[in-house]
Chain A
């Protein structure tokens, strides 16, 4: 009579890891279908795409998924692991899937492949594979691609699908708002109304635009207890409170915080990236603090740094602090006051940074968009050295006037995203040559830049006439 023994417990609930991943995929499905609709079907309906191109977004996603799966398979092969077994438990599709959803639609395929490869190899495998990575793999891949290839991505069209490129001629909503400035007219109106932000028919990366579907996905996951919902709620609430304060101090209405929440991938990041189980705290209090500081950092990166990827940078930064937050969270379970310092710090930062941003905001606004740096008179020529706010930064220029006429117009420096288009069109030369520069057509895919160039001349002439 021999009896089998092993250490108990001997019953288990029915939840297992692959179930969590299945729920995640179910939650992502509507988002993927929506991007096919928005970035495939709408351009097709409007006549910008062939029929087959409707499925380009899906193709885009599959390429990335395939890349990360192949990367893992070759890794297992090199490590001489049982490929089938190891692959089953490594959820290899995840980094690629998220890389594709976070990148702009027009990212060249080779850059997408690099992103998915880096996400899998550097983000995940060098740490020892699934469950051992410190940083969110997908975001690490996207960060790499954004740092190295951002110019190439913008050159090939950036975030706009062909239809949007024609209608909107700008970048994504947040990119116009580089320094956190702008009213309803500059931030929201070019893309429609706030409801379009909610539904998701605005420019943005492949999977990030539809606030509605992401919120639905969040509730689906939260009700099924598949997600660390504390992180998402505190993260979004923090950003709401801070941007509400900033907006109110500047006289903006309730649309302003909503704009911030519905744009720039904040919701997608808060629901899918910040809650990645492997790279987020396990304790409830740790998760609350994680969400609070994510919100603070996102606002800091959006308003106080020139770097555009606020959500991405915030999540990767907080990934570093998971262990500390977990420890605080551990002690807080026995004695909540042990975590008080963390909460107090978070609240101080929330209020302090909101006021700091709001203050800087006013001052910059008074500066207006046009500054005369220097005026010199040589013979009968007047030389203006001026700065004008353009599409993505300041344009510095030298304008030479003679007898009420613009005789020369030299761009000294600029950081415009679509400058190549301006140069290719010899736009500056056209402005000089024209009898009335106001009559020169704007370049449809670089409206703001070309308008800024006209503003320079308009403002200089205005000053000259005075």
Chain B
């Protein structure tokens, strides 16, 4: 495995935690697991209650979407999704009636099947950017649970704040899952130099016999699932770690599982890091799915003057968005509003090989960039979009973009 690159800026500031749970309107993006192929179950002027299922993806996985707030369905509108394209959103006007009850359930009372069913009907998906339905991972013979708390992006701290606030809950649900699924161990993986969250986890983890803390080096992309599984369990797999009986979840997903099992709360909210030099008060904000980013910015005190850029999902893997009318979705981890950058001018490739050494997926971006035909032989489909090739390129070539384009071309 390539060990990746130590970023020049790695020191992370953990922004304060805030809640913004009652926007006037939500624009729930009708996207599930990156697909817009969805059956809508409500129509204009219907009244929906917080937690009602309002849509369901077609296909095998059938991921449900739930109403994040109670209120009247106003119809459908196009808003920006995190790939900088507009998607159809379900508009709900808030009537500010809180409908979810606070009844608690015992985590350890669940059986395997009940957990899987609960995850399926609550629509829990991977919250670290993949939006892959979580129940699919648990529907296997499992040996090891790994919770991935390795946040590589220098500006994102949504996982760190969850550990800070909800460490006990996260460890409890990990232990419950290990118990229910008869797994050998539960591992929480963090970056070596994340001292704060290391301290917090160490405070609580001692009471759980089957849970342990594992540190990984401070390299970018050391939180990549494939790398993590190799580093911790020395296992290689073809497509998914469940082939080896390993289930890997992010911290945010683990907390969503907790809320589902403990309160029967469907997946309707998440923590998003709002950062950037143009934002008056950066924060980690708990927001409802479908909240407009512009509303959250107003809530946080607005923006400074000057030309700006809005970047969704971190500076290395993310995309710049053309409008503040970006909607919060399950796969949005961070929003950054920064002073507008100049796009680097591309120079001639030196063939220095830096991109080859940097690529965690062992690709050779320089060869894909040079290739004129038969792109397939260079396997661009293996690209994970981590952005390191562009990050290291001394000639400012946007290799991530070129490899991703090659990937689309052969698909």
CB of A277 within 8 Å of the partner chain: yes
Complex Cα–Cα for A78 and B349 (A): 23
CB of A7 within 8 Å of the partner chain: yes
Complex Cα–Cα for A8 and B402 (A): 11
A319-362, CB < 8 A from B: 326-327, 329-330, 333-334
Nearest residue, chain A, Cβ from B350:
A277
Asked if A9 contacts B400 (CB within 8 A), the reply is yes
CB of B61 within 8 Å of the partner chain: no
Complex Cα–Cα for A280 and B400 (A): 23
CB of A363 within 8 Å of the partner chain: no
Complex Cα–Cα for A364 and B362 (A): 50
CB of B308 within 8 Å of the partner chain: yes
Asked if B367 contacts A16 (CB within 8 A), the reply is no
CB of A12 within 8 Å of the partner chain: yes
A259-298, CB < 8 A from B: 277-284, 287
CB of B263 within 8 Å of the partner chain: no
Contacts of A1 in B (CB 8 A): 323-324
**In the assembled complex, how far is the CB of residue B231 from the closest CB belonging to chain A, in whole angstroms?**
18
Instruction: In the complex, identify which listed stretch (B97-105, B159-167, B384-392) lies at the interface while the others stay far away.
Output: B384-392
Asked if B344 contacts A12 (CB within 8 A), the reply is yes
Complex Cα–Cα for A5 and B319 (A): 8
Asked if B364 contacts A7 (CB within 8 A), the reply is no
Task: Bits for B334-351, please: 1 = Cβ < 8 Å to A, else 0.
Answer: 000010110110011111
Nearest residue, chain A, Cβ from B311:
A10
Q: Which of B310, B315, B394, B401 contacts A3 (CB 8 A)?
A: B310
Complex Cα–Cα for A131 and B350 (A): 6
Complex Cα–Cα for A287 and B354 (A): 13
Asked if B398 contacts A7 (CB within 8 A), the reply is yes
CB of A14 within 8 Å of the partner chain: yes
- A9 and B387 contact, Cβ closer than 8 Å, known pairs A3-B321, A330-B378: yes
Nearest residue, chain A, Cβ from B337:
A3
Contacts of B340 in A (CB 8 A): 3-4
Asked if B317 contacts A89 (CB within 8 A), the reply is no
Asked if B309 contacts A282 (CB within 8 A), the reply is no
CB of A403 within 8 Å of the partner chain: no
Asked if B353 contacts A282 (CB within 8 A), the reply is yes
CB of B232 within 8 Å of the partner chain: no
Complex Cα–Cα for A280 and B401 (A): 25
Complex Cα–Cα for A3 and B84 (A): 11
Contacts of A130 in B (CB 8 A): 348
- A5 and B84 contact, Cβ closer than 8 Å, known pairs A14-B8, A17-B350, A282-B351: yes
Complex Cα–Cα for A19 and B395 (A): 11
CB of B316 within 8 Å of the partner chain: yes
A2-54, CB < 8 A from B: 2-17, 19-20
**In the assembled complex, how far is the CB of residue B61 from the closest CB belonging to chain A, in whole angstroms?**
29
Complex Cα–Cα for A228 and B350 (A): 12
**In the assembled complex, how far is the CB of residue A160 from the closest CB belonging to chain B, in whole angstroms?**
37
**In the assembled complex, how far is the CB of residue A12 from the closest CB belonging to chain B, in whole angstroms?**
6
Contacts of B394 in A (CB 8 A): 15-17, 19-20
**In the assembled complex, how far is the CB of residue B1 from the closest CB belonging to chain A, in whole angstroms?**
11
Asked if A8 contacts B316 (CB within 8 A), the reply is yes
CB of B38 within 8 Å of the partner chain: no
Nearest residue, chain A, Cβ from B362:
A333
Choose among A6, A20, A131 the residue with the greatest number of B CB atoms under 10 Å from its CB.
A6
Nearest residue, chain A, Cβ from B84:
A5
Task: Bits for B234-262, please: 1 = Cβ < 8 Å to A, else 0.
Answer: 00000000000000000000000000000
**In the assembled complex, how far is the CB of residue B117 from the closest CB belonging to chain A, in whole angstroms?**
39
- A3 and B323 contact, Cβ closer than 8 Å, known pairs A12-B344, A17-B395, A282-B366: yes
Asked if A282 contacts B364 (CB within 8 A), the reply is yes
- A333 and B348 contact, Cβ closer than 8 Å, known pairs A3-B320, A7-B319: no
CB of A458 within 8 Å of the partner chain: no
Task: Bits for B95-139, please: 1 = Cβ < 8 Å to A, else 0.
Answer: 000000000000000000000000000000000000000000000
CB of A132 within 8 Å of the partner chain: yes
Asked if A10 contacts B347 (CB within 8 A), the reply is no
Number of residue pairs A-B, CB distance < 8 angstroms: 137
A80-134, CB < 8 A from B: 89, 129-132
CB of B22 within 8 Å of the partner chain: no
**In the assembled complex, how far is the CB of residue A234 from the closest CB belonging to chain B, in whole angstroms?**
15
- A330 and B395 contact, Cβ closer than 8 Å, known pairs A5-B84, A12-B344, A278-B350: no
- A89 and B348 contact, Cβ closer than 8 Å, known pairs A10-B311, A15-B392: yes
B269-305, CB < 8 A from A: none
- A13 and B391 contact, Cβ closer than 8 Å, known pairs A6-B343, A333-B362: yes
**In the assembled complex, how far is the CB of residue B138 from the closest CB belonging to chain A, in whole angstroms?**
30
CB of B9 within 8 Å of the partner chain: yes
Q: Which of A6, A11, A132, A228 contacts B391 (CB 8 A)?
A: A11
Complex Cα–Cα for A329 and B362 (A): 11
Nearest residue, chain A, Cβ from B378:
A330
Contacts of A89 in B (CB 8 A): 347-348
CB of B307 within 8 Å of the partner chain: yes
Nearest residue, chain A, Cβ from B358:
A13
CB of B356 within 8 Å of the partner chain: yes
CB of B410 within 8 Å of the partner chain: no
Complex Cα–Cα for A331 and B347 (A): 27
Contacts of B375 in A (CB 8 A): none
Q: Which of A8, A14, A280, A282 contacts B356 (CB 8 A)?
A: A282
Nearest residue, chain B, Cβ from A9:
B387
Complex Cα–Cα for A112 and B68 (A): 77
- A8 and B323 contact, Cβ closer than 8 Å, known pairs A131-B351, A282-B353, A283-B353: no
**In the assembled complex, how far is the CB of residue A9 from the closest CB belonging to chain B, in whole angstroms?**
4
CB of B322 within 8 Å of the partner chain: yes
B138-170, CB < 8 A from A: 154
CB of B40 within 8 Å of the partner chain: no
CB of B318 within 8 Å of the partner chain: yes
Contacts of A333 in B (CB 8 A): 362-364
**In the assembled complex, how far is the CB of residue A206 from the closest CB belonging to chain B, in whole angstroms?**
26
Task: Bits for A404-419, please: 1 = Cβ < 8 Å to B, else 0.
Answer: 0000000000000000
**In the assembled complex, how far is the CB of residue B321 from the closest CB belonging to chain A, in whole angstroms?**
7
Task: Bits for A56-98, please: 1 = Cβ < 8 Å to B, else 0.
Answer: 0000000000000000000000000000000001000000000
- A282 and B352 contact, Cβ closer than 8 Å, known pairs A8-B400, A9-B315, A9-B316: yes
Complex Cα–Cα for A394 and B192 (A): 70
Task: Bits for B54-89, please: 1 = Cβ < 8 Å to A, else 0.
Answer: 000000000000000000000000000000100000
Asked if A10 contacts B356 (CB within 8 A), the reply is no
Complex Cα–Cα for A131 and B369 (A): 13
Contacts of A132 in B (CB 8 A): 348
- A8 and B353 contact, Cβ closer than 8 Å, known pairs A3-B324, A13-B392, A16-B396: no
CB of B357 within 8 Å of the partner chain: yes
Complex Cα–Cα for A131 and B347 (A): 10
**In the assembled complex, how far is the CB of residue B86 from the closest CB belonging to chain A, in whole angstroms?**
13
Asked if B322 contacts A7 (CB within 8 A), the reply is no
Complex Cα–Cα for A89 and B320 (A): 29
Contacts of B323 in A (CB 8 A): 1, 3
Asked if B356 contacts A284 (CB within 8 A), the reply is yes
Nearest residue, chain B, Cβ from A89:
B347
Contacts of A15 in B (CB 8 A): 354, 392, 394
Contacts of A7 in B (CB 8 A): 319-320, 398, 401
10 A-B pairs with C-beta separation under 8 A: A4-B307, A13-B7, A131-B350, A282-B352, A282-B355, A282-B356, A284-B357, A327-B367, A330-B378, A334-B362
Chain B residues with a Cβ under 8 A of chain A: 5, 7-9, 84, 154, 307-311, 315-324, 338, 340-341, 343-344, 347-357, 362-364, 366-367, 378-379, 387, 390-396, 398, 400-401
Query: Which 3 A-B residue pairings sit nearest by Cβ, starting from the closest?
Result: A131-B348, A282-B353, A9-B387
